[in-house]
Amino acid sequence: MENFALIFAALFIGYILNKREVFSKDAPLILNQFILYISLPAMALLQIPKLTLTYEVIIPVFIAWVVMSVSALLIFQISKFLSFSREETGALMLVGVLGNTSFLGIPIISAYFGEKALGYVLMYDQLGSFIALSTYGTFISVYYSSHKKIDKKAILLKIIKFPPFLSLLVALFFIGTTFHPLVTSVLSSLASTIVPLALVSVGLQLRFKLPPHEIKPFSVALFVTLIVAPLIAYGISLLFSWQNSASQISIMEASMGPMITAGAVATMSGLAPKLSSSIIGYGTLLSFFTTWVVYRLIV
């Protein structure tokens, strides 16, 4: 109960601070940079070594990519069938496919499953959602906003140099290792900043205004990301008879609301900015209910 109180309090604080313009417009960017460069690497180094090196470690990565691939194909076909504009299709291919598996995933899953689940969360997020954002997300933003040639080398360098991804790779070499208590204490303190900072950052970026003519693409995006995605993850788990913590965490991750960073990419690329912001805003709030439903069904 205390975890959920913190989640809603931090979101509300961020939203009110934004409405009253207490912080500068760059505040979410600054908070996100702190999380990406300090908090997430610390959490990776703290949680990943606690995992047992078995096939279960790969389950979140496999499910993440299947969920995103099927979601992208489904949204593409629906957008084509309903004759959505190029900008609307591009926006949906980003915010309807990529889930908020870190900034929302970490606090929500830790509230339901505790810190023991965070290793699987990081595998799903860093080897799934983040790489997809850096590769697929870049391709979609460029393809639907212009006809520029995609720089594959730049994308690869972006992934390799990304601090959370680097720390994840380093942490994998320490699986089964117990750090000195002093190191663990420092990493714990830094990692603990993720939840409040991430949620305040999400609250600062919530938008709810939706033009009437964009209700259809708005509904499609939320239907796919909040309902279809977790069903795909659940179906994969049934298909392979996976009934373990790794599969449960993966299904929960698949049910998260739209990724805020994907919305930012859509906005910066001119892909239906108001639609993207509305999908992020409503999707974030609705995901608290849908994740609760998913949790009740799988546990």
pLDDT tens digits for range 260-281? 878 877 877 788 888 888 888 8
Residue 38 exposed, middle or buried by CB count within 10 Å (0-12, 13-18, 19+): middle
Q: Could you tell me which residues come within 8 angstroms of residue 152 by beta carbon, excluding any fewer than 6 positions away?
A: none
Output the pTM of the full model.
0.83
CATH of the domain at 163: 1.20.1530.20
Indicate the DSSP class of residue 174: T
Domains in the chain: how many in total?
Answer: 1
As a whole-number percent, the residues of the chain with pLDDT over 70 amount to: 96
pLDDT score of 5 more than 90:
no
Going by pLDDT thresholds of 50, 70 and 90, the confidence category of residue 109 is very high
What residue numbers bound the domain in which 260 lies? 2-298
Maximum average pLDDT range among 163-167, 188-192, 211-215, 236-240: 236-240
For the chain, what is the mean pLDDT?
A: 87
Q: Could you tell me which residues come within 8 angstroms of residue 117 by beta carbon, excluding any fewer than 6 positions away?
A: 109, 110, 245, 249
Q: Of 60, 62, 168, which Cα lies nearest the Cα of 105?
A: 60
**Cβ 91 vs Cβ 266: under 8 Å:** yes
In this predicted model, what pLDDT tens digit does every residue of 32-70 receive, in sequence order?
788 888 888 898 898 888 877 778 889 999 999 999 999
Position 260 scores a pLDDT of 80
Tokens linked to 223: 């239907």
CB atoms within 10 A of CB 245: 15
Tokens linked to 114: 């505790």
Tokens 């990943």: give the residue. Answer: 48
Q: Is the dihedral of CA 213, 214, 219, 220 positive or negative?
A: positive
pLDDT score of 195 more than 70:
yes
Q: Could you tell me which residues come within 8 angstroms of residue 34 by beta carbon, excluding any fewer than 6 positions away?
A: 193, 197
